[in-house]
Amino acid sequence: MSQATALHTSQLHSLPLLARGKVRDNYAVGDDRILMVASDRISAFDVIMGEPIPGKGELLTRMALWWFEQLKDIVPNHLTGEAPESVVAADEVAQVRGRSMLVRRLKPIPVEAVVRGYLAGSGWKEYQDSRSVCGVPLPAGLRNASKLPRTIYTPAAKAAAGEHDENISFERTVEMIGPELAAQIRDISIRLYERAAAIALAKGIIIADTKFEFGQDDAGNLVLMDEVLTPDSSRYWPADSYREGSNPPSFDKQFLRDWLEQAQVDGLPWGKKAPAPRLPDAVIAQTAAKYRDAMQRLLA
């Protein structure tokens, strides 16, 4: 797929736009459903890049739908099972086909359920300072990319658009949503991660960490929503090149982040604020290839 046929921003006239996120454009379908359109946008450091990654939205949608199917016995999800093409005008089908999910409208829970099985990224940095990650104490002697002695739950509070999510303690989630719901989300999130990590490892992929989002239906039931276990919300490593003590090569957007760390704007290092530097064709192609590789390994 070329840049010309990539979808940076959907433009549907038949449905009211609810919100544009970093990747997804959400449209209201009546008052009880949402059409989620996964664009080819990509963000890094909470900044949306100006150039799309061709094929990314379709790939994310295929992976999310596959994971929802693998995990549906653990917790209900937001899928309605209806075809997204059925709720848009005929001239909009091309924008929707293959990259959309028609989902139930839920009451979102303002907690990002982050689960970690390995020490990586900001968790590794924090561990070096405090021998803990998000307030969870860990034993001495762990290294970069070490497998943790046990899966840990490190929630975050969802921030407003354009702001960074804030790491919070489990106790804070209890204050926000109550002890029963906080414990239910923690326990289900760990079950989801451990099931997914085992499935992925059998296919040669390590899922180092991930985040889940939940909502509640009108009856108060907990429902898994948004995307799930894609390279946008998870840290994917190839198992065959994993070595404790060094950053493994990554299937996610770490490649893009690494390029941006070295990028310059007007001769100065980019300050991780919009506007983003223009992405060279080679960076776009390499990022797209990493996403494709992850999906092909997983769905093989």
Fold of 107-241: D-amino Acid Aminotransferase; Chain A, domain 1 (3.30.470)
Grade residue 283 by pLDDT with cuts at 50, 70 and 90.
very high
First-residue to last-residue Cα distance in the chain:
21
Alpha-carbon span 191 to 185, nearest angstrom: 10
Which pLDDT band holds residue 228 (cuts at 50, 70, 90)? Answer: very high
Tell me how crowded residue 26 is: count the other CB atoms within 10 A of its CB.
19
- Give the residue with greater pLDDT, 65 vs 5: 65
Q: What is the pLDDT of residue 299?
A: 92
Q: Are strands 136-137 and 132-133 parallel, antiparallel or unpaired?
A: antiparallel
* pLDDT confidence tier of residue 160, bands split at 50, 70 and 90: low
pLDDT-derived band at 212, boundaries 50, 70, 90: very high
Task: Give the residue-averaged pLDDT of 265-293.
Answer: 93
Mean pLDDT confidence for 236-250: 92
pLDDT for 122: 87
Backbone angles phi, psi at 275, to 5 degrees: -80, 155
Q: What is the DSSP string of 125-190?
A: HHHHHHSEETTEE--TT--TTPEEEEEEE--EEPPPTTSPPEE--HHHHHHHH-HHHHHHHHHHHH
Same fold, 3-105+261-299 and 107-241: no
All structural domains of the chain with their residue ranges: 3-105+261-299, 107-241
Contact assessment for residue 104 and residue 223, using Cβ atoms and an 8 Å cutoff: yes
The token pair at 222 is 């907990």
Please give the pLDDT value at position 161: 58
pLDDT tier at 251, thresholds 50, 70, 90? confident
Within 22-121, where are the H helices?
A: 56-71, 93-96
Q: Which of 161 and 80 is assigned the larger pLDDT?
A: 80
In a 3-state reduction of DSSP, which class is residue 106? coil
CATH T-level fold of 3-105+261-299: Phosphorylase Kinase; domain 1 (3.30.200)
Mean pLDDT of the chain: 94
Mean pLDDT on 173-186: 97
Q: Per-residue pLDDT averaged across 73-83, rounded?
A: 98
Which tens digits make up the pLDDT trace of 98-121?
999 999 999 999 999 999 999 998
Encoded tokens for 299: 């769905």
Task: Look at residue 248 in the predicted model and tell me its pLDDT.
Answer: 87
Q: What is the pLDDT of residues 22-50, one digit of tens each?
A: 999 999 999 999 999 999 999 998 899 99
Question: Hey, which residues does 100 pair with through a beta bridge?
Answer: 37
* Whole-angstrom distance, CA of residue 185 vs CA of residue 174: 11
3-class DSSP state of 193: helix
Q: Token pair of 60, please?
A: 């994310």
Q: Is the pLDDT of residue 213 over 70?
A: yes
In whole angstroms, how far apart are CA 103 and each of 20, 26, 250, 264? Answer: 16, 10, 30, 40
